[in-house]
Structure 1
Amino acid sequence: MVVNLEPSLPYPPFVDVEGVINIRSVGGYTTSTGRALKPIVIYRSGDISSITHKGKEQFSELGVHVVFDFRADSEIKNYDSATPSMEGINIIRAPAGIQNAFDPASIAIRLKNWTTDELGAFLTTYGEILDTATEAFRTVFIHLRDHPDQPCLVHCTAGKDRTGMFITLLLMILGVEDRDIIDEYALTTVGLAPSMPQLTRKLQKMPVFRDNWDGLLNMGSSKPETMVATLQFIREKYNGAEAYLKTRLNLDEEDILKIRENYLI
C-alpha cells in the first residue's frame, strides 16, 4: 500500500492527514435553487490503512468520528490493508465492491477494456457499482439523514470510483450544478498525483498491471468528460439520482428532504 508521508496538498478542499491519499472535504457549492451546501458536508479519501501516528492526530482534529469503508473484504486481504483502530473513530465496513473484481483474471479483463474503450469501461464499471453498492450507499445516506452533527468520511482504495459514485449521488440530490460535480470528480487527479510515483513503482512489479499498463493509466484517470457522461448515464438509466435513492435504496421523499434540510443553508 502506498504511503504518502509528505504534506503535499495543504489547501482546500484537500486536508493534510499523513499517510492518507486524496483526502478532501466536500461542500460549499451553490445549488441550482440558490441555496448553498454547508462548507463541509462530508470528507472523502483513498485508503486510510497507512495512516501514521501524526496522521491520526491530524484526522482527530478534523472532528470525524465515523468512517465508512467501501472496500471489499478480498481487496483488504489481497493488499494487506486492514484499517488500524483509532481512538474515538467508529469504522463501519460497507463493502461496495463488484464481486470478484479484484482477482487477477477479472483485473486483466477490465484493464483490456480500459485500453480499448476508456469511456465505455468507466460507464460499465459505474453502472455495476450503482447496481451492487445499494446497501453500502443506503447505510451512509441513513447516517447523513440521522446524524448531521457527526462528520464522517467515506473511502475506498483510491477514493475515486466507489467513493466518487456516492459523492456524485449526494451532490445530485442536493441540487449542486453539473459543472461543480464534474470539477469535484476531477479533483481526484490532483489528489492522487503525489502518490503516483510510489504507486507506479509498486504496480510495475505486478504482471497483471505491467502487462496492461495503458489500461491501468486510463482506469486511474478522473477526466471531466467521464463525469459528463456519467451524469447523463445516471439520468437515463435510473431517471436521476433522486429516483435512484427511492427505487434502489428504498429511501423516500421525506428522507431526501431531511438530508437536504441537514446540509443546505
Structure 2
Amino acid sequence: MASQPAALLPPFIAVPGLPNLRDIGGQPVASPSLGQREEGTQRGQQLGKKMIRRGVVYRSSEPSKVSDEGISMLTEDLGITHVFDLRSKVEIDRAHGKTLAADWQPREWPGSKRLFVPVFLDRDYSPEALAVRFGQYSHHSTEGFVMAYSSILTSAADPDHPYAPFRTILNHLASPDPSPMLVHCTAGKDRTGVICALILSLCGVDDETVAQEYELTQLGLAARKDEFVAHLLNVAEAMNIESIKHNREAAERMVGASKDSMLATLAMIREEYGSVEGYVVDRCRVTPAAVDQIRKNLVVDVDVD
C-alpha cells in the first residue's frame, strides 16, 4: 500500500502506511472566546494571537497497514501514547467481509495504548441501519452529511453508551499534562472529523477554519481513495444495500469531505444543543472544569508552541 504522498505539506505528516495523518494543532484561536466560553466565533476577531498547541492531537485513517518504520515515527518522533479507535468490533469483524477483515484488523504496538471507543454499537450495524447511514453519506447535498453527523453526536453521547467515546477522549485532553494522542476511525473522516471539530471549536477556533481543517481530508485520502470506495462497495454488496452496491458515484460522494458539510454541522450543533460546549457538558457529561482544563492545555500563545 502506498504511503502518505510526499507532496503533502504540513499539517500532514508522512508516515509509511498511514494516510491522512495530520496534527490539528497550529489552528488560530479567536482570543475573545476564551474568556466568554463561546466557541466557533467568526473571522475578524483578532485571530492569530492564540493558537491550538501542536503535538498533542493527531488524526488519521485506520492504522492496520502502518509499517514498522511508521510505528517508530509515531512512538519515538511524535511521542503518541494513546490511540483512540472509534470503530466498532462488528464493523471490523463483519462489515468488511471475511476476505477484507484480516486487512483491517486493529494494529497495536509497544509504547502506545489502543483504546477501544466505538461511536456506534453493534445494533447500529444492522442492514437497515447501514442502509440509512449509507444513504445519508451519499446524498447529493450537505443535508445528508448533517443527518449522518447528527447520528454520530447522538450515539457518542448516549448516556447508556458503555464506552462514552467522546467523553473518554475529552477527559484525556483534560488531564493535567495530556500526552500526545491519535484518533482514527476507518477513513479518518466522519467520526474522527466530528470529534476533532468539537475539540477545535471548543477551544475557540472559528467555524471557517474548523471546516477547512476538516476538508483537508480530501487531500489526505487521495492515496487510498480507490481502496475506500472499493471497501464501501463491498460492504454494500455484502449487506445488500441496493442504493450503493453498484453505484460507484454514490460511494465516491461518501468519501468526500466538503467544508460546507462541516459548516452546516456546526450550525446544527448550535441549533440543537445551544453551543458546542452545551453539547460537550450536557450530553457528553464532561464537567465545566474539564472544559476549562482542555482550553488551558491546548490554547497557547503563538510564540509558545
Give the counterpart of 1:15 among 13, 34, 39.
Answer: 13
For residue 41 of structure 1, report the CA deviation from its aligned partner.
3.3
Structure 2: distance between partners of 1:125 and 1:6: 28
User: What CA deviation, in whole Å up to 9, does each residue of 1:77-136 have, x standing for no partner?
Assistant: 133222232011111100112654445554344334444553222111111110111210
Structure 2: distance between partners of 1:196 and 1:115: 15
2:45 aligned partner: none
Structure 2: distance between partners of 1:222 and 1:162: 12
Matched, 1:62 2:63: no
Matched, 1:186 2:184: no
CA contact (8 A) 2:10 2:22 kept: yes
CA contact (8 A) 1:7 1:18 kept: no
Counterparts of 1:78-227 in structure 2, within 5 Å, are 78=94, 79=96, 80=101, 81-97=104-120, 99-134=122-157, 135-146=164-175, 148-201=177-230, 203=232, 207=237, 208=241, 209-227=244-262
Give the counterpart of 1:5 among 3, 6, 14.
Answer: 3
Instruction: Pick closer, same or farther for the CA change 1:182–1:150 going to 2, 3 Å.
Output: same
CA contact (8 A) 1:26 1:44 kept: yes
CA contact (8 A) 2:136 2:147 kept: no
- In structure 2, what residue type is equivalent to 1:85? E
2:266 aligned partner: 231
CA contact (8 A) 1:69 1:92 kept: yes
User: What CA deviation, in whole Å up to 9, does each residue of 1:202-252 have, x standing for no partner?
Assistant: 555663544232322222111011111111001101111111111012122
For residue 51 of structure 1, report the CA deviation from its aligned partner.
1.4
- In structure 1, what residue type is equivalent to 2:150? G
Gap regions ≥5 residues in structure 2: 32-48, 158-163, 301-305
Structure 1: distance between partners of 2:186 and 2:297: 28
CA contact (8 A) 1:16 1:58 kept: no
Instruction: Pick closer, same or farther for the CA change 1:174–1:109 going to 2, 3 Å.
Output: closer
Q: CA RMSD in A?
A: 2.1
- In structure 1, what residue type is equivalent to 2:283? R
Structure 2: distance between partners of 1:19 and 1:229: 32
Work out the percentage of aligned pairs sharing the same amino acid.
31
Instruction: Pick closer, same or farther for the CA change 1:149–1:76 going to 2, 3 Å.
Output: same
- In structure 1, what residue type is equivalent to 2:56? V
Instruction: Pick closer, same or farther for the CA change 1:211–1:111 going to 2, 3 Å.
Output: farther
Gap regions ≥5 residues in structure 1: none
What TM-score do you get using the length of structure 1 for normalisation? 0.91
Report SS of the residue matched to 1:31: strand
Deviates more, 1:34-43 or 1:152-161: 34-43
